Amino acid sequence: MALQRIEAVVLRTIPYSETSLIAVLFSRQIGRLSTIAKGARRPGKAAASALQPTHDISCIVYVGTGGGLKTISQIELVADRPGITRSATLFGLAGRALELALSQTPLEEASPNVYHLLNELLTTLEKASQQSGQQLLLAYELKLQGILGYGLRVNSCARCGRAAGKRSIALSPSAGGILCETCRGGVGDVLSLEREELSVLRAMLTDPIRVWLRNDIPSMVLTRLGFTARRIWELHSPLDRSSSSAAFLAEVGSALYSPESSPREAFGH
């Protein structure tokens, strides 16, 4: 059995037995992993306050050969994120980001890019307004899809590679990006994007997350691009349709998770 120090974001915790805590982490070194902190909930232990969702921690993990829960110890807090608990919306946005890292990433597969993306999102969310927080989450979702291999092709037709049309552009999550006039025929899930929407989408895929703290985009654009991101999650993971964190965001009035219409309606289903 080998010992390894890891840095990780806490995705979820569950009390276990009288004194222990199960924690699902996303680490820089091992990716997503399920761990147990034995005795963490005994009085006087600092581990329980470090092991909270959204926190960045450092700990020692006992790396065995098999799967299952891995024991962690010497848990140290690297960053707590008090700014996120300022509002229900920010808290909900962070919750959605953690849920996606929990449900969409493979178990125990190193992906430093996901770890950095998640940390960047949580750090910037602390400084965000309700509006910019939603923009940050959308950029996170689109970039996460890119890392996981579901990234949208937005510079030329996803089917034939030709340049996109001049005025309105057809975007299809099932085709994996934008479609030219010829290729859009017969494709079921098409959303017509304005030029402005396409340039926001391109910038979200390429620019660092933090630029969305300042660059405000119209809430209609946010909602429509949000449909695109949700449609992609649904295509790759049908269970995402019943996401509890998405339902919470709709309840607190998020434009990104508008309860008015669903992604399926937007794409003509």
Each residue 174-213 as x (binds Zn ion by CB under 5 A) or -, in order, gives: ------x--x------------------------------
Handedness of CA 129, 134, 136, 137 (dihedral sign): positive
Taking the least distance from each CB to Zn ion, the nearer of 79 and 163 is: 163
Taking the least distance from each CB to Zn ion, the nearer of 85 and 174 is: 174
Taking the least distance from each CB to Zn ion, the nearer of 15 and 161 is: 161
Taking the least distance from each CB to Zn ion, the nearer of 39 and 176 is: 176
In the list 46, 160, 163, 247, the residue contacting Zn ion (rule: CB under 5 A) is: 160
Contact 153, 239 (CB under 8 A): no
Residue 196 phi/psi, 5-degree rounding, is: -60, -40
Instruction: Give me the least distance between CB of 226 and Zn ion, in Å please.
Output: 25
Beta-carbon contacts of 7 under 8 Å, excluding residues fewer than 6 positions away, are 27, 28, 29, 56, 57, 58, 78, 115
**DSSP per residue, 26-38:** EETTTEEEEEEET
Taking the least distance from each CB to Zn ion, the nearer of 137 and 157 is: 157
Check binding of 3 to Zn ion (CB under 5 A).
no
Handedness of CA 122, 40, 77, 104 (dihedral sign): negative
> Which residue has 């009035």 as its token pair?
253
In the list 159, 224, 230, 231, the residue contacting Zn ion (rule: CB under 5 A) is: 159
Instruction: Give me the least distance between CB of 257 and Zn ion, in Å please.
Output: 31
Footprint of Zn ion (CB under 5 A): 157, 159-160, 162, 180, 183
